[in-house]
Structure 1
Amino acid sequence: MKRVVATGKTVEEAITSALVRLGVTRAEATVRVISEPVKGILGFIGGKDAEVEVTVNPSPPEAAKAFLTDLLSQMGIEAVVHLRSNETAEEGTAVLNIVCDEADLSTVIGRHGAVLDALQYLVNVSANKDKEHYVKFYLDAGDYRERRRKGLERMAEQAANRAVRTRRPVTMESMPAADRKVIHTYLQSRVDVSTSSEGVDPHRKVVVSPVGRSRPGSRGERTSGRFERNLQ
């Protein structure tokens, strides 16, 4: 972090001097007053200027990288965190990629990405604490997100084909909201099936049904063969 120590006849003068040297605004920095000004005898003999230390606040990406690296270290995992600045899912989002030994990947990712999701949640809370502009972070390790997405799409395709072939609804395994969203999104272009979500987290599941046949005895939410917007 960039920091400078500056002096001035008043605390505000010292702060202004430091901010100018750092090239940041007051909102972008943290100020610590080291000493208040002291008036000398007769106004000038033995006087002392105010002294302050001004530190530039880390940006959300910098704070996220530092927090995540430290958190992984506490887990006993030596890793390097890279910011994929050119891989944003949407405006105001960024991807942090964890690079570690192959042997540690399973620990970092967890079953169905549970650990990775937990780390992602903690990073978003920590990095955006007291920040004016919120940045949403997505975490990845060993290209898990892409591999998981492709795996879910294969599962969705198989479930849809089975539902059409048997003319019966197919209930998929329980999965988190982010994974269910992948299923719903992938199948929204198919006109021969519809999707719905049933159950309560963490056991909520996607049901893929052939169009024209309702799930027997079910009163769960259903889509119209398009994307289920509010049921993830």
Structure 2
Amino acid sequence: MAKGKDFYGKDIAEVIEQACRELGAGREDLDIEVLDTGSSGIFGLCKKKAHIRVRRKAAGPEPQPAAESPRIEPVDPETGEAETVEPAPVETRTERRRPARVSEPAVEPTDRADDEATGEAVAPVEEEPEEPPSAEALEQIRADLGQLLELMGFPSEVRVVFEDNTVHCTITGAHEEQIVGPEGRTLDSLQYLLRKMVAACVPDRIMLALDAGGFRERRAGELRERALELAEQVKADGKTQAIPALNPSERRVVHMALQEDKGVRSRSVGEGLFKKVLIYKPGKGRRPSSRKRRGGQGGRTSGD
């Protein structure tokens, strides 16, 4: 059982007990790796079982008996006879058995950040490529999204495919406008909720994108045009311009549209999921320095 055996159950305690019972061993005799703690899902959908991988601990080498010290037989200088001296007892140390260690599930990063100063994507840490979701997982996502739309009162046709490390979910039907909402806010909220619902089916390193009626492509085109127009205004009058309330993918569209223009810079500011993008002339969009100048005067902020 070098590779270990997988066990599934309702929760971690139950599945460990099941493994000990099936393997006929105590918990301290097993190496237990927790792969998933399980979850009850959202709205009862996409429930996830607890998952562990168990290996028997390798048996350590048998303790070797301590070698006896040779007897020392000095010669009595008066009689010339050898004297027998018994060896001193050798103390042995018994190694304490260490308790079994249950490894915690690895915490993986959930999002890819963009460079706030330049708008360029930060190079991700090199990792092993993630296995694509199975056909069964994609079908489960399609069914969950379809049921969610039914509960919202917007029954629609749903198509789910996996391309470029992204699960693309496309909605078509008579309710596209309501599903998209003002400036895509309803669609963004629905995408966030779906991501949480299918967390058991889609690893964090695989992205999920939700679209309805081709809204994402139209929105990206509009943002690129607006970014270029504002960039021309900034170069003409030097005043900083802003595009408010953009989600991460929309902010990336703006940054990419302006990255080749040496006359302007862009960066994201704000808190939370939705931030605004500032477009400014080089040297005017820097954050104020935390250091104070001589004489107690702080650095000035310009451009915002």
Establish whether residue 71 from structure 1 lines up as the match of residue 123 from structure 2.
no
Using the TM superposition, name which of 72-81 and 131-140 deviates more: 131-140
| Structure with the greater alpha carbon radius of gyration | 2
Question: TM-score if structure 2 supplies the norm length?
Answer: 0.46
Rounded to whole Å, the distance in 2 between the matches of 1:132 and 1:146 is: 25
SS at match of 2:169: strand
Rounded to whole Å, the distance in 2 between the matches of 1:219 and 1:133 is: 35
Establish whether residue 199 from structure 1 lines up as the match of residue 270 from structure 2.
yes
Question: TM-score if structure 1 supplies the norm length?
Answer: 0.60
2:193 to 97, 117, 122: 122
Distance 1:203 1:78, change over 3 A: closer
Establish whether residue 166 from structure 1 lines up as the match of residue 166 from structure 2.
no
Paired residue total: 158
The amino acid that maps onto 1:59 is: E
Using the TM superposition, name which of 109-118 and 143-152 deviates more: 109-118
Q: Determine the structure 1 residue equivalent to 2:284.
A: 214
The amino acid that maps onto 1:81 is: V
Unaligned stretches of 5+ residues in structure 2: 1-47, 49-133, 290-304
SS at match of 1:138: strand
Using the TM superposition, name which of 197-206 and 108-117 deviates more: 197-206
Rounded to whole Å, the distance in 1 between the matches of 2:196 and 2:214 is: 23
What is the Cα deviation at residue 203 of structure 1? 6.4
What is the Cα deviation at residue 94 of structure 1? 2.1
Rounded to whole Å, the distance in 2 between the matches of 1:134 and 1:168 is: 39
Identity, % of aligned positions: 25
Establish whether residue 94 from structure 1 lines up as the match of residue 167 from structure 2.
yes
What is the Cα deviation at residue 143 of structure 1? 0.3
Rounded to whole Å, the distance in 2 between the matches of 1:145 and 1:131 is: 21
SS at match of 2:253: helix
Rounded to whole Å, the distance in 2 between the matches of 1:171 and 1:133 is: 31
The amino acid that maps onto 1:94 is: V
What is the Cα deviation at residue 144 of structure 1? 0.3
Rounded to whole Å, the distance in 1 between the matches of 2:192 and 2:215 is: 17
Q: Work out whether residues 128 and 134 of structure 1, in 8 Å CA contact, stay in contact via their aligned partners in 2.
A: no
Q: Work out whether residues 248 and 274 of structure 2, in 8 Å CA contact, stay in contact via their aligned partners in 1.
A: no
Question: Deviations 1:166-221 (Å, cap 9, x if unpaired)?
Answer: 1222122332232222111211111111112223346632111123x414x9539x
The amino acid that maps onto 1:64 is: I
SS at match of 2:262: coil
What is the Cα deviation at residue 153 of structure 1? 0.3
Distance 1:162 1:129, change over 3 A: same
What is the Cα deviation at residue 160 of structure 1? 0.5
- Give runs of aligned pairs for residues 20-39 of structure 1, distance below 5 A: none
What is the Cα deviation at residue 158 of structure 1? 0.7
Q: Which has the higher strand share?
A: 1
What is the Cα deviation at residue 132 of structure 1? 6.9
Establish whether residue 107 from structure 1 lines up as the match of residue 178 from structure 2.
yes
SS at match of 1:129: coil
Using the TM superposition, name which of 131-140 and 109-118 deviates more: 131-140
Question: Deviations 1:146-167 (Å, cap 9, x if unpaired)?
Answer: 0000010011001111100112
What is the Cα deviation at residue 116 of structure 1? 1.2
Q: Which has the higher helix share?
A: 1
What is the Cα deviation at residue 84 of structure 1? 3.9
